[in-house]
Structure 1
Amino acid sequence: MLRLSALGDLCNLVPTIRALQRQWPDVRITWIIGKAEHSLLAGLSGVEFVVYDKASGLAGMRRLWRQLGDTRFDVLLHMQQALRASVLSLGLKADVRVGFDKARAKDAQHWFTHRQLAPHPQAHVLESFMDFARLLGVEDQGLAWDLPVPAEAEEEARRLTGDHPYLLMSPCANPRLRNFRNWSAEGYAAVIEHAWAQFGLKTALTGGGSTQEREVGERIRALSRAEAVIDVIGESSLKGLLALIGRARVVIAPDSGPVHMANAMGTPVIGLYATTNPDRAAPYLWREHVVDRYPEAVRTYLHKEPDEITWGQRVRHPDAMSLVRVDDVVQRLDALLTGPNESKETETPDEA
């Protein structure tokens, strides 16, 4: 199977692997994956990883082709809708190449495959991946992840946060051009104050070590009580972040990798959505707890009704996330902290 990125999408893909393994316990699965993404999923049971460093370009592709030169796959599941991945697929030997249907394929991916998925309009990302298992005849499509978290990652999490209960905030999404997924520092600080005053919960701030993430973290800390915040931005590995998420009472974040990592770990999560459609990209098992301001953003900034735009179209406006209100987040946090939060890993995409 070929899927290089991104972190959240890879978490949504894992249930498809588990479904394939349940159907065929002896199946050999090779996953061609990006370098950073591999550091998150390394050790996934029953999977052999082949790592491609996206920064290595065509030279890296040639090295990978030589590495797999003697390998012929029965089926290549081409799960990356990107030209780079399609070019990479050309050097792989496979009897059958399966990709997305024309409506979902991007960058003319359907030109690089023999068979395409059946159409599935308005599918969630997780359901789109599970469509590959359906095409192969998999019957049991129950959801399971079982992401490996090594002991050293658990120790890393304990070292960073101590033993005090906490909720986890990952305030920044990927800083891609015109992404506009981040909420305000003032909003996060208000939720931090509520969690501390009402529940005695500290808040662990997480993220990478980029200048933007550190600056956002500093603004949030400046607006918050010092005793209520544990700042670990730039301090954790990806496995350590998984452990931090697994130990958290709740995760709060915009549409980004950590909401899907929390979903995979069975940790309650409040996703903050206005610029992306949560029906397509929300944390799958916790969709009812999403703060969904996407329809309002479409009407306000695209001047259309949600059913008048293409599925998954983004609202690329810097003010869209201002539609998320503190009360929205606080209400969902209160519901999660005072109500039952049972694991939902036995659901199937059709039942959820």
Structure 2
Amino acid sequence: MQMDKTIKSIAILRLSAIGDVCHAMAVVHAVQKEYPDASITWITGPLEAQIVKLLPNVKVCIFDKKQGWKGMWALKRSFVGDKFDVLLHLQWSIRASFVSRMIPAKRRIGFHPSISREKQHWFVNDYGEQPARAHVLDSFLSVSARIGVSSIELPLPLNLPESRVCGDYVVLNPSASKAERNWTEEGYRELIDWLVSNGQRVILTGGGSAAEKQLASMLTTSGVENLVGQTSLPEMMSILASAKLVISPDTGPAHMATIVGATVVGLYAHSNPKRTGPYCDLDKVVSVYEQMAEKEYGKPVSELPWATRVHSADAMKAITCEQVIAQVRSLI
């Protein structure tokens, strides 16, 4: 579809999680380029707001899901007297759909019914197109395509803070939000040994949870700098932006790295990297997803539903250190 010149105000709804918010940021930047005179208001979660605020000229409205209905009514009151021309509803969850009804908008665009989940199509009055590809970011673009925005440009022009890390280094972000998505401690150790023995300076990044800190402490050795739990999200993005390479399982920092232009080696077993992998580096992932999915479901991935996940707690163990080192060696 073509640009709609009558659109002067746009609301974006994507509350979480970090990786998907990064995908949405790429789409919102593309919307900004197509609609430079439109005001854009993004409703998101308090943690995610830290990185959304890095986008220039976006008004950020925070909704804390912990506040439940009380928070929803407060959000509704904050928009009294407003009426957005368009709401881009970029989250499948039923909670987000209830939040969407607190946002006054003439046109509410959600996902195409073929990929709609948790009855999102009940809460919108317009549907995105059928996505051209399986990736989550492409599903977001299928929604924005309804207002004439169907492509993105990366990296994004973000207002990043100055990085505390200088020089030449590789980032290893070892922990995912779910422990089952982490690679093995033994695999990480062997990879680190190879990197250090080949003259690479290694920076560990990650959040401040006890599990993340514990894993990072076990991996910290000579030639490794441990910054896990010591940076804000914007500070981490600055570190990722200057890395020669980022290595990470399926988690938010892999996508943070993508939108700031870093090269990413993603480690995948539980979800299809064609759907959730680092968008610009899908050719660089080390993945055992297809073989693990076929083992669990008894049929090839091509015959499985769009968002099928592998549930085996040991799936990541199928990734060998030889596979990861071979990919890293080809890039550095």
Question: In 1, are the aligned partners of 2:25 and 2:52 still within 8 Å (CA)?
Answer: no
Q: Counterpart in 2 of 1:88?
A: 99
The answer as to whether partners of 1:149 and 1:239 remain within 8 angstroms in 2 is: yes
Name the CA shift for 1:121/1:22 in 2 (closer, same or farther; >3 Å). Answer: closer
Alignment of 1:147-226 (within 5 A): 147-151=158-162, 154=163, 157-158=164-165, 163-175=166-178, 180-198=180-198, 200-221=199-220, 226=221
Structure 1 residues 35-46: aligned runs within 5 Å: 35-46=46-57
Alignment of 1:78-157 (within 5 A): 78-120=89-131, 122-138=133-149, 141-151=152-162, 154=163, 157=164
Count matched residues.
321
Q: Deviations for 1:118-147, whole angstroms, at most 9, x for unmatched residues?
A: 222752111111112211123664445222
- How many angstroms apart in 2 are the aligned matches of 1:228 and 1:333? 17
Cα deviation, residue 164, structure 1? 4.9
Q: Which amino acid aligns with 1:305?
A: P
3-state SS of 2:247 partner: strand
2:154/2:259 contact within 8 Å kept? no
1:192–1:202 CA contact under 8 A, matched in 2: no
Q: Which residue of 1 aligns with 2:5?
A: none
1:220: how far off?
2.2
Find out whether 1:9 has 2:20 as its counterpart: yes
**C-alpha contact 2:170 2:203 (8 A) present in aligned 1:** yes
Amino acid at match of 1:254: P
SS at match of 1:50: strand
TM-score, normalised on structure 1? 0.87
Paired residue secondary structure (1:98) = strand
Residues in 2 aligned to 1:25 and 1:96: alpha-carbon distance in whole angstroms = 19
Contact kept in structure 2, 1:263 and 1:269, CA below 8 Å: yes
**How far has the Cα of 1:24 moved from its partner?**
1.9
Q: Give the whole-Å Cα distance in 2 for the aligned partners of 1:43 and 1:67.
A: 22
For the 8 Å contact 1:207–1:232, the answer to whether it is kept is yes
SS in 2 for 1:31: strand
Task: Give the CA RMSD over aligned residues.
Answer: 1.6
1:280 aligns with 2:272: no
Between 38-47 and 287-296, the greater mean CA deviation after superposition: 38-47
- 1:287-344 Cα offsets, whole Å, 9 max, x none, are 111002111111223332212211121101111101111111111111111xxxxxxx
**TM-fit CA distance, 1:117:** 1.2
Q: Tell me how far apart the structure 2 counterparts of residues 41 and 97 of structure 1 sit (CA, whole Å).
A: 21
Q: How far apart, in 2, do the equivalents of 1:284 and 1:140 lie?
A: 13
Structure 2 SS opposite 1:270 = strand
**Can you give the 5+ residue segments of structure 1 that lack an aligned partner in the other structure?**
338-352
Distance 2:26 2:202 in 1: 29
Q: Match for residue 349 of structure 1?
A: none
Q: CA deviation at 1:218?
A: 2.6
Q: Which amino acid aligns with 1:214?
A: K
Partners of 2:118 and 2:124 in 1: how far apart?
13
Distance in 1 (CA, whole Å) between partners of 2:151 and 2:284 is 26
The one of 240, 243, 250 equivalent to 2:245 is 250
Q: What is the CA-CA distance between 1:248 and the residue it aligns to? A: 1.5
Structure 1 stretch 10-19 or stretch 248-257: which is displaced more? 10-19
2:130 and 2:142 in contact (8 A); partners too: no
Is the CA contact 1:170–1:205 (under 8 Å) kept in the aligned structure 2? Answer: yes
Distance in 2 between residues matched to 1:251 and 1:53, nearest whole Å: 30
Give SS of 1:272's match.
strand
TM-score for both structures, normalised by structure 2:
0.92
Aligned position for 2:4: none
Distance 1:142 1:203, change over 3 A: closer
Name the CA shift for 1:140/1:277 in 2 (closer, same or farther; >3 Å): closer
For 1:47 and 1:266, the matched residues in 2 are separated by 21
Q: 1:23 aligns with which of 18, 34, 57?
A: 34
> Normalized per residue, which structure has more helix?
1
1:132-168 superposed Cα distances (whole Å, 9 cap, x missing partner) = 22111236644452222023xx2xx23xxxx453211
Other structure's SS at 1:127 match: helix
Equivalent AA in structure 2 for residue 4 of structure 1: L
Shift of 1:110: 0.3
- Contact 2:87/2:105 (8 A) holds in 1: yes
1:76 aligns with 2:83: no
> What is the aligned partner in structure 2 of residue 236 from structure 1?
231
Distance 2:214 2:17 in 1: 24
1:33 is displaced (CA, Å) by 0.8
Structure 1 Cα separation of the partners of residues 152 and 23 of structure 2: 13
CA distance in 1, matches of 2:155, 2:78: 31
